Chains A and B, each alone.
Chain A
Amino acid sequence: MAVVPGANLARFRGQGVWLLLGVVAGIAALSAPAFAEWGNLSNVLRQASVLGLLAIGQTFVVAAGMIDLSVGLNAGLVVVLACSMSADGWSMLSVTLAMLMLAMTVGLLNGLLVTQLGVDSLIATFGMLSILQGTIFTITDRSVGSAGEALKWLADADIHGLPVSAIFLAAVAAIAHLVFARTRFGHHLLAVGGNVDAARRVGIPVVRIRNGCFLMAGLFAGAGGLLLAGRLGTGYPLAGVGLELDSIVAVVLGGTALAGGRGSVIRSLAGVLVLVIVSNAMNLLGISAFVQTFVKGLIVMLAILANRGSVRYR
């Protein structure tokens, strides 16, 4: 790598999300006094946990130079099935295992479409999104079943004032961060995202890495779906709609280039917090959902500006 003036700045590249998080939290605390109360803050953490899980999985896929549009509805399918299975009397353990297996199967299918059939990840996962949506609506068009007590506990309970879901997310995120930053898999996926041809030539098993990334996205979508089921308490068929975009926005806010090759699980979570804090503060201020949608669009544009100058997607 050539030494260029300003190379030191590269270290700060993508770190802008911390600044953004500080600014957003500051504005929220100043404009809505209720924001900084502990009850509300723990609510923010609870709200962030579902999206946080999805964003972790998305980080793996995006850092490897691909994209997964199916994570939201993958989680949505888990919500519907987990609730109807629980209502049918399945044990919590079997529901959890079955749902994680299902979500990982969907993820692996995405991976196989990309690696074996040569379909662009955007198209493959977009097709999968459509298939999942159709499947969910074919199963039910209204809320079904009810989440088991264990899932509700995971989503809503507190331990010593800390939300269980936030503790769960922190633990999972720590493991995911280690996998991403400290394992061979993590290094290889960044290499694949940075330059596929170079990665292939140095002998990195590109196909296996890509499949692994989609498998991770599926696993985290499954976990996010289970948590979401606990939060909602019932199998709402539209539960996962739009979460895929939020997860991508969070990942991009966190400085993971859509072109692949860099990224960070922790910064993606900071991106999630930015999104959740903004929506929480606007709810406290009584701003209408329509304005919120508009503001979300503006935040995406902000993320774009922050990532400006990086290589464009494809």
Chain B
Amino acid sequence: MSIGDEAGRGRVARWLSSRAIFVVLGLLLLVAALVSDAFLQLRYLFNMVRQISPIGIAAIGVTWVMILGGVDLSVGAVISLSAVLCAVIMDGSTANIVPAVLVACASGTAIGLLNGMAITFGRVSPFIQTLGMGVAVIGLTQMYSGGTARGTVAPGFREWLNIRWFGIAPGLALAFILLAMLGIVLQNRTVFGRYLYLAGSNPRAAYHSGLPVAPIAIAAYAISGFFGALGGIALLARSGVSSTSAGQGLEFQVLAAVVLGGTTFAGGRGGVGGTVAGVMVLVVAFNLVNMSGLPYHVQLIVMGLIIIGASAVYSRLGARG
């Protein structure tokens, strides 16, 4: 086998590993369409996007943290906190919508900022830091709300985000798509995005080349907190009730989507585009489980199998490429 051949195969493997999730999504949609023609209707597709938008929005921020080689396990707790804060401050009055959204976003960003500073300056393991932060934030949320659903959603808030714009796309779905596009632009067209990949693939080299590694990392965690808060607001808009445990366990679905999308725990690879595809794979798989009449909990088994399977495939491709 010639050297050129080897290089060619490497390139093919790399191309595949960065696009594999789109192939998977296409195949899954094909299967779904064979099972039920509902999957061919634009309305149904947009409905799925709406259904998964809280997780999808939160996953955008987590993607960047993971490109850096970190992880954010506090995102589920941030989603809960943001939903509760938003509902309580709104208190059923339209005039309070803006302050409620602002406070929710600010608190999410502040939590992310704390994570980022502890991880960069304290040289703390991101896994444990965000895990502990998640537990503490869940406790805070429960103390704040007394453990029950509190606060009332203002009239107009849910309508605005759930109405079908242009007669077809729910507001939440549009918001997710817009945020994802914003994310892709930020990641591919800005200095911040470029630095993110550089610092993620080789932190030491990035540091010695004079890249502001610490500010980048702190910014990434802060953004992850911010998007987590947006996810919480989206969750509130979708369900209309602010339960304190609303976001519990969602961090796992978020991580699953990000890893599926090709952003590995090793960092330096992947991106928001893949994450969006990963989110869609999850929701299509969940809907397929539902349609086939299997009990709800089989979704969990399917999710586990998908996560392990996808990681195995990526690790194979990575080893060869």
Chain A interfacial positions (CB closer than 8 Å to B) = 67, 113, 117-120, 122-124, 126-135, 137-138, 141, 245, 248-249, 252, 258-259, 288-301, 303-305, 307-309, 312-314
Please name the 5 residue pairs, one residue from A and one from B, whose CB atoms are nearest each other, closest first: A297-B136, A294-B139, A300-B132, A134-B300, A130-B304
Bound together, the chains give a CA A16 to CA B124 distance in angstroms of 17
Chain B residues lying within 8 Å of A292, measured Cβ to Cβ, are 139
* In contact, B134 and A128 (Cβ under 8 angstroms): no
Which residue in chain B gives the minimum CB-CB distance to A120?
A: B265
The answer to whether A129 and B140 have CB atoms under 8 Å apart is no
A301/B143 in contact, CB under 8 A:
no
Q: Tell me whether A294 and B143 are in contact (CB under 8 A).
A: yes
| A131–B129 alpha-carbon span in the complex (Å) | 26
| Residue interface bits B113-131, CB-to-A below 8 A is 1, else 0 | 0000011001111111101
User: Is there contact, CB below 8 Å, between A297 and B308?
Assistant: no
CB-based contact B128/A127 at 8 Å: no
Q: How far is the CB of A69 from chain B (nearest CB, A)?
A: 9
- Determine which of A117, A124, A313 lies in contact with B128 in the assembled complex, contact meaning CB atoms within 8 Å: A313
| Inter-chain pairs besides A134-B303, A307-B125, A308-B123, 10 sampled, C-beta below 8 Å | A113-B308, A117-B311, A129-B252, A130-B307, A133-B300, A258-B128, A294-B142, A305-B122, A312-B125, A314-B266
Q: List 11 A-B contacts (CB under 8 A).
A: A122-B127, A123-B308, A134-B297, A137-B295, A137-B297, A245-B135, A289-B147, A291-B143, A293-B142, A299-B132, A308-B123
Pick the contact of B259 from A123, A128, A248, A258 — CB < 8 Å? A123
Judge whether B301 and A138 touch: CB under 8 Å: yes
**Which residues from chain A contact B123 at a C-beta distance below 8 Å?**
308-309, 312
Q: Which of B250-266 contact A (CB under 8 A)?
A: 252, 255-256, 259, 264-266
**Inter-subunit contact B315/A117 (CB<8 Å):** yes
Q: Which residues of B contact A295 (CB under 8 A)?
A: 139
- For B304, the chain A residues whose CB sits under 8 A away are 126-132, 134
Q: Report Cα–Cα, A123/B138, bound state, in Å.
A: 23
Q: Which of B118, B128, B259, B316 contacts A118 (CB 8 A)?
A: B316
* CB-defined contacts of B124 to chain A, threshold 8 Å: 304, 307-308, 312
Question: In the bound complex, how far is the Cα of B131 from the Cα of A122, in angstroms?
Answer: 13
Given contacts A119-B315, A128-B308, A298-B136, are A312 and B126 in contact (CB under 8 A)? yes
B299 at the interface (CB under 8 A from A): yes
Residues of B within 8 A of A249 (CB): 132
Contact A252 B128 (CB under 8 A): yes
Nearest-CB distance from B292 to chain A (Å)?
Answer: 14
B180 within 8 A of A: no
Q: Is the CB–CB distance between B143 and A130 below 8 Å?
A: no
Complex Cα distance A129/B308, Å?
11
Q: What is the CB-to-nearest-CB distance from B252 to chain A, in angstroms, rounded to a whole number?
A: 7
User: Inside 8 A of B134's CB, which chain A residues have their CB?
Assistant: 297
For the complex, is B182 an interface residue (Cβ under 8 Å from A)? no
Closest residue of chain B to A291 (Cβ to Cβ) is: B143
- The B interface, classified by DSSP as helix, strand, loop or mixed, is helix
Out of A131, A290, A301, name the residue touching B305 (CB < 8 Å): A131
Please give, as numbers and ranges, the residues of chain B lying within 8 Å of A128 by CB-CB distance. Answer: 304, 308
A304 touches B315 (CB 8 A): no
Q: Contact between A297 and B69 (Cβ–Cβ < 8 Å)?
A: no
Contact A137 B300 (CB under 8 A): yes
Query: Which interface residue of A122, A130, A292, A295 has the most chain B CB atoms within 10 A?
Result: A130
Residues of B within 8 A of A130 (CB): 252, 256, 300-301, 303-304, 307
A129 and B307 alpha carbons, distance in the complex (Å): 11
Chain B hits for A259, CB < 8 A: 125
- Interface residue from A127, A245, A314 paired with B307 (Cβ < 8 Å): A127
Assembled-state Cα–Cα distance A232/B206 (Å): 53
B1 close to A (CB within 8 Å): no
Q: Least Cβ distance of A83 to chain B in Å?
A: 19
CA distance A284 to B315 in the complex (A): 49
Residue of A nearest to B266 (CB): A314
Does B173 belong to the interface (CB within 8 Å)?
no
A205 to B63 Cα, complex, angstroms: 35
Q: Is B186 an interface residue (CB 8 A)?
A: no
Q: How distant is A266 from chain B, measured CB to nearest CB, in Å?
A: 21
A245 to B296 Cα, complex, angstroms: 25
Q: Choose one: B69, B131, B138, B146; the contact of A314 (CB below 8 Å).
A: B69
CB distance from A306 to the nearest CB of B (A): 11
Is A304 in contact with B132, judged by CB distance below 8 angstroms?
Answer: yes
In angstroms, Cα B265 to Cα A67, docked, is: 14
A291 touches B139 (CB 8 A): yes
How long is the Cα–Cα vector from A118 to B259 in the complex, in angstroms? 14
For B143, give its contact among A129, A245, A290 (CB under 8 Å). Answer: A290
CA–CA, A122 and B303, complex, Å = 15
A106 to chain B: closest CB distance in Å? Answer: 12
Q: Which of B45-97 contact A (CB under 8 A)?
A: 69
CB distance from A9 to the nearest CB of B (A): 18
* A314 adjacent to B265 (CB under 8 Å): yes
B132 to A, closest residue via Cβ: A300
Complex Cα spacing A74 to B136, Å: 25
- Complex CA gap A23/B22 in Å reads 54
Distance in Å: Cβ of B78 to nearest Cβ of chain A = 13
